A and B are shown apart, each in its own frame.
Chain A
Amino acid sequence: MSFLRIEGVKKSFGGNTVVRGFDLSVEKGEFISFLGPSGCGKTTMLRMVAGFETPTAGTISIDGQDVTAQPPNRRRIGMVFQAYALFPNMSVADNVAFGLKIAGMPAAQIRERVAEMLTLIGLRHLADRYPYQLSGGQQQRVALARALAPSPRVLLLDEPLSALDAKIRVSLREEIRALQRKLGITTIFVTHDQEEALSMSDRIVVMNEGRADQIGTPFEIYNRPKTRFVASFVGNLSLLEGEGTGDARAILAGDEVILPFPARGRVILGLRPEAASLQASADRTNQLTGRIDEVNFLGSLVRLRVAVAGAGVLVDMFNNPGNPPPGRGDIVTIHFAPADVQVLEHTPPELAIAAE
């Protein structure tokens, strides 16, 4: 039996449906990310788990107990907000102690637990500071300690890293994940940043227009996207339009490409930048030739955009100090393996025949 269950949850505000039929089972200790563009309903779904919104239909249960109608202050959930939401009038130690005081813990135990939590986030020396004296990263760590102090059943993170600058964002996400593993706490993390979701999660829920488009491990989501939305939202994907021949081939503006499986009629092919290369190899049997439109030097990577068959194909190559990347306007040949081609929209040959 899973620890957190969300069954058939719908939510409308007036006539505006934000979440339409959401199902999810989360195991104890799992780290789940809700990933999607703004307005996809991920934050609303999280707020329903927290109890700040009531579902229009469906149930939410934690550890076998139906909490759908329970107010937030009875759910024993920890939450970290995007805007930190530390209590400005309290010191760091008092912020962390707040939940414990409300739970009625004796003062000596509170002191001990606060010290333990502050040591965990490495801010024990700042216990007497006030929120306005801390940097954004420190404030968010305190918010995390405050959420975790009363040993909640579930931890909810509502875009906790969005307000921080890039470097702290990366270090803090590693810290959050390490802490989550150490405590074994069931966690839901809401983000619109695919890199965060891919690097931190056990499983990702990709959300689009109030629905879970795909639920899977980061590896599955990235490599085997089920819908065109998931494919285009997660990672970079170059899209090419062609004509399936019915056997495992497609014709793109005169060039022939070998597909992983047969398709007939109009097909959309997807290719990840890292799957394409300017070097030929034994398994990269597909070839397309085009002119380089753009060269983006990203540091460890160089990203080329090559105009092929009326579309732009992205090609990533590693930076090599001994070998400068090709320039704009150069004609290059792209090599890629049939197995790396994603066929996003196609009609299987047998259906296509039936339709004819």
Chain B
Amino acid sequence: MRRSLPIVSTLIVLLAASYFLIPLYATFQFSLQMVRGQWSFEAYRSVFNSDVFAATVTFSTIASLAAILVGVLIVVPTAYWVRLRLPRWRPVVEFVSLMPLIIPPVVLVFGYVRLFGSTSYLPLTLSNAGTNTLLVAGYVVLSLPYMYRAVDNGMAAIDIKTLTEAAEILGASRFRTIAAVIFPNVRSAIVSGAFLSFSISFGEFVIASLLNRPAFGPYLVQIGQDRAYEPAALAIMSFALIWACMVLMQLFAARKPGGRILPRLIRPSARSVTP
């Protein structure tokens, strides 16, 4: 039996999609119009030829990666310990991890500037390295809700307590248990958390701008004020980058142990299981 096309739902989907797709298409089209009277990628070429672009992208990438590393080192042991030994504290920890969604980054960065400013015992804002540290710390805080949620979900999927006990009774130390058993089993969760963090901190504006760092976010805003076609090209590229992150996240989340690092897109026929 052929099902007739559900008209109303299709209309709603199309309407919702156009809300997102039409501005995107318009931006894309505009970004191709830098040379009068013809379509070209001139705007993209101009962006890629700029030294500032390369410098800010490099800076933001390094800062984001540092934030991911620090975030993982904080979040994974915390989520593990809370699940294993302090299950009653889980709601509290979860609430704390959600705080960055409630407190605006402006408040956070002003707090940093007051706390670590020139009159502080720890005047981090006086040096470049110190300010970079503050930037990374800010990124860690911003990505905390996503990182914690992803890792905690990953840990919910495996039986943390029994796996820990199984490793312990075989003689493993606590460190070895985390390194050889827990970590590899939540790796895909960590990776998806990492991609989310990356997409948040890579284009972040408020913290980077107020700490006066040469990051990608402030560069984007500056270009938006100075140029016409390049910002459109940059916006399209940012979208592409975020989408790439999401696709990678999906692929890693679906990865089975013993599979490849990058999973095959076409699954081999399932192996039979004999009882």
Could you tell me which A residues sit within 8 Å of B by CB distance?
50-52, 71-79, 81, 83, 85-91, 98-99, 102-103, 129-130, 132-135, 137-138, 146-147, 150, 168
Evaluate contact between A78 and B185: CB separation under 8 angstroms: no
**B275 contacts A by Cβ under 8 Å:** yes
Evaluate contact between A135 and B162: CB separation under 8 angstroms: no
Chain B, residues 165-200, CB within 8 Å of chain A (1/0): the string is 111111111001000110011010000000000000
CA distance A83 to B180 in the complex (A): 20
Evaluate contact between B275 and A85: CB separation under 8 angstroms: no
Closest 6 A/B residue pairs (Cβ): A99-B170, A89-B184, A85-B166, A85-B162, A102-B171, A89-B257
CA distance A134 to B170 in the complex (A): 22
Q: List B contacts of A86 (CB < 8 A).
A: 166
* Minimum distance in angstroms from A38 CB to a CB of chain B: 18
Assuming A90-B257, A132-B257, A135-B273, is B169 touching A79 (CB within 8 A)?
A: yes
**B88 contacts A by Cβ under 8 Å:** no
Q: List A contacts of B180 (CB < 8 A).
A: 87, 98
Q: B interface, how many residues as a size bin? A: 20 to 34
CA distance A137 to B169 in the complex (A): 22
Could you tell me which B residues sit within 8 Å of A by CB distance?
158-159, 162-163, 165-173, 176, 180-181, 184-185, 187, 256-258, 271, 273-275
Evaluate contact between A150 and B273: CB separation under 8 angstroms: no
CA distance A71 to B169 in the complex (A): 9
Q: List A contacts of B273 (CB < 8 A).
A: 133-135, 138
Assuming A130-B257, A133-B273, A134-B273, is B170 touching A85 (CB within 8 A)?
A: no
Evaluate contact between A132 and B165: CB separation under 8 angstroms: no
Evaluate contact between B165 and A103: CB separation under 8 angstroms: no
Evaluate contact between A52 and B165: CB separation under 8 angstroms: yes
Assuming A91-B258, A133-B271, A135-B273, is B172 touching A85 (CB within 8 A)?
A: no
* Minimum distance in angstroms from A101 CB to a CB of chain B: 9
Q: List A contacts of B176 (CB < 8 A).
A: 102
Assuming A137-B275, A168-B275, is B169 touching A77 (CB within 8 A)?
A: yes
Evaluate contact between B171 and A85: CB separation under 8 angstroms: no
A135 touches which one: B166, B169, B257, B275 (CB < 8 A)?
B275
CA distance A13 to B123 in the complex (A): 49
CA distance A348 to B258 in the complex (A): 69
8 A–B contacts from the bound complex (CB under 8 Å)? A72-B165, A85-B166, A87-B180, A91-B258, A102-B170, A130-B257, A138-B273, A138-B274
